[in-house]
Copies of this chain bind each other. A is one copy, B any other.
Amino acid sequence: MNTTTTPLTDLEIAHSAAMRPIGEIARKAGIPDEALEPYGRYKGKIDITRLPHKEESGKVVLVTAISPTPAGEGKSTVTVGLADAFSLLGEQTMVALREPSLGPVMGMKGGAAGGGYSQVLPMEEINLHFTGDIHAITTANNALAALIDNHLHQGNQLRIDQRRITWKRVLDMNDRALRRVTIGLGGPSGGIPREDGFDITVASEVMAVLCLAKSLDDLKERLSRIVIGYTFDKEPVTVRDLGAEGALTLLLREAFKPNLVQTIGGTPALIHGGPFANIAHGCNSLIATKTAKKLADIVVTEAGFGADLGAEKFMNIKARQGDFKPDAVVIIATVRALKMHGGIPKDGLGSPDSDAVKRGLPNLSRHIDTIRAFGLEPVVALNRFTADTEEELATVLEWCREQGIAAAVADVWAKGGEGGKDVARLILEKIEAGNEFHQLYDEFDSFEQKVGAVVQKVYGGDGVLFTDKALKQLQDIEKRGWDILPVCMAKTQYSLTDDPGIMGRPEGFTITVRELIPKLGAGFIVCLTGDIMTMPGLPKKPAAMNMDIDREGHAVGLM
């Protein structure tokens, strides 16, 4: 661990790190000059149409985690640290990550680009606007919204029922006051009044579409399929009906190019796309992962929240649509989070408590079973925090040994790639050994079978209950043939059940599906279970309050 008396902040570590010019990183990754479009000195976009033709033969290492707790798991930190560890072991490596959303950066998080000595750089710019992708998504989403309301205002030729418009506006901001609004007020010049609401941009279907498209043409085709609402005859209205797919594609053209940056260890990193892991699939863009598979031998990538959400969707949605398979899976656990799953509240985490760690292990065990259900044998990375005791760490490692699970401590926050070598070696063994990856359900299974497979094989639940509303929606979905699509479960990340208060490894529960939302552009059907927040709020003291620039113009207050 860091031995100075006042440990450096992530921002201080990032500032002190020596960055190499982005052209050098591109050359290291095998990206020819003509395919690199620099954005400032240390960021670049990749024009994939100018990459040399190569097989997508890189091995994909998926980093996932136990159910998240307020204690923090450090998933991005471990993902970055593992990539640097592979680089140190001599592997040609790339890391593929999601782009941070400004909303949470300004709200609770203060930054999201790894931590300690396992960060992606330039940390300030990645956290603030980056190359503008999320702003382009906001713009495309809201251009569509403006075109819809303009269509109503200009005579409503398509007979769109303003009470059944499902397309919402978005902002990349935590702004609870925009969750429910009425628009179109102020008389005839202000358009048609109706109820509406704003989501945060990363919850936009445009984000999901950008992250699953295989090419610019596929992006346009997917955008055209988006359902924005229904007519007075309850028929779906699509972007194609409005004729807006060309403009939206044009607005997203630059955003669709993967972004290249570097880790503190100098490993090339693709940071591209960042959909929510509940109402969307929670992984970086498919195009970035495929590009990394072309360029590198080892591709380290993460999926959002715990394995029940991010990893499940990585497999059943992203890998399925992208026609590839993961070669190894790492599940991150921490002593702190296991203690919380073992019943210790956040303010009690300071005291060593190996028994609590033990009581939390069933949560890890559930996620191990999930990965095994996909035909993969996971590696457990125990992400070390400063206050962890040797006894607590040993408790976890010993349990893993008993279960026949490969496990090691990752000390990447304090030591960078060097601290991730043990885990990396275990992963290489798994890649070497091969796996028998298979999906949990077939696309031709019934919709109930698909949801049931996720609930039973991933959450460990007994079954699924559809509300009357959801059943009615299912009939409509089946009638239109949309049930061929995979399911995208929108469930609380804090529990394997649909009740955020139930931690650990619950059993004997059912999941209630309350509403179905067809996302035809993304290519999945969202199943809402419980209240899913798609527009966060700011806390009492937002992280923004600590942000500033210093005399040299450097950022202050990013974490």
| Chain A contact residues, CB within 8 Å of chain B | 37-41, 45, 49, 102, 106, 125, 128-129, 131-132, 135-136, 138-139, 142-143, 145-147, 149-150, 153-154, 169, 171-186, 189-192, 216, 220, 243-244, 246-247, 249-251, 253-254, 537-538, 540, 542, 544-549, 553, 555-557
User: B548, A250: Cβ atoms under 8 Å?
Assistant: yes
User: B175, A179: Cβ atoms under 8 Å?
Assistant: no
CB within 8 Å for A544 and B139 given contacts A191-B176, A537-B153: no
User: B139, A172: Cβ atoms under 8 Å?
Assistant: yes
How far apart are A180's CB and chain B's nearest CB, in angstroms? 3
Please report the C-alpha to C-alpha distance between residue A173 and residue B189 in the assembled complex, in whole angstroms. Answer: 16
Kindly identify which residue among B135, B185, B247, B546 contacts A545, using a CB–CB cutoff of 8 Å. B247
Q: List 30 A-B contacts (CB under 8 A).
A: A37-B40, A38-B39, A39-B39, A40-B45, A106-B143, A128-B250, A128-B251, A128-B254, A129-B132, A135-B136, A135-B138, A139-B172, A146-B174, A147-B542, A149-B176, A150-B177, A150-B542, A176-B191, A177-B184, A178-B183, A179-B186, A179-B190, A179-B191, A180-B190, A181-B183, A246-B546, A246-B548, A246-B557, A247-B544, A250-B547
User: B185, A180: Cβ atoms under 8 Å?
Assistant: yes
Kindly identify which residue among B143, B149, B246, B538 contacts A177, using a CB–CB cutoff of 8 Å. B149
User: B175, A547: Cβ atoms under 8 Å?
Assistant: no
User: B191, A185: Cβ atoms under 8 Å?
Assistant: no
**Assembly stoichiometry (copies):** 2
Complex interface: chain B residues within 8 A of A131 (CB) = 132
Please report the C-alpha to C-alpha distance between residue A545 and residue B40 in the assembled complex, in whole angstroms. Answer: 33
Please report the C-alpha to C-alpha distance between residue A542 and residue B557 in the assembled complex, in whole angstroms. Answer: 42
Please report the C-alpha to C-alpha distance between residue A125 and residue B132 in the assembled complex, in whole angstroms. Answer: 13
User: B180, A186: Cβ atoms under 8 Å?
Assistant: yes
The chain B residue with its CB closest to the CB of A531 is B189
Q: Which of A40, A149, A182 has the most CB of B within 10 A?
A: A40
User: B254, A545: Cβ atoms under 8 Å?
Assistant: no
Complex interface: chain B residues within 8 A of A146 (CB) = 106, 173-175, 177, 538
User: B177, A183: Cβ atoms under 8 Å?
Assistant: yes
User: B147, A544: Cβ atoms under 8 Å?
Assistant: yes
Kindly identify which residue among B142, B537, B542, B553 contacts A49, using a CB–CB cutoff of 8 Å. B553
How far apart are A139's CB and chain B's nearest CB, in angstroms? 6
How far apart are A155's CB and chain B's nearest CB, in angstroms? 8
User: A549, B250: Cβ atoms under 8 Å?
Assistant: yes
Complex interface: chain B residues within 8 A of A537 (CB) = 150, 153, 189, 191
Complex interface: chain B residues within 8 A of A173 (CB) = 139, 142-143, 146
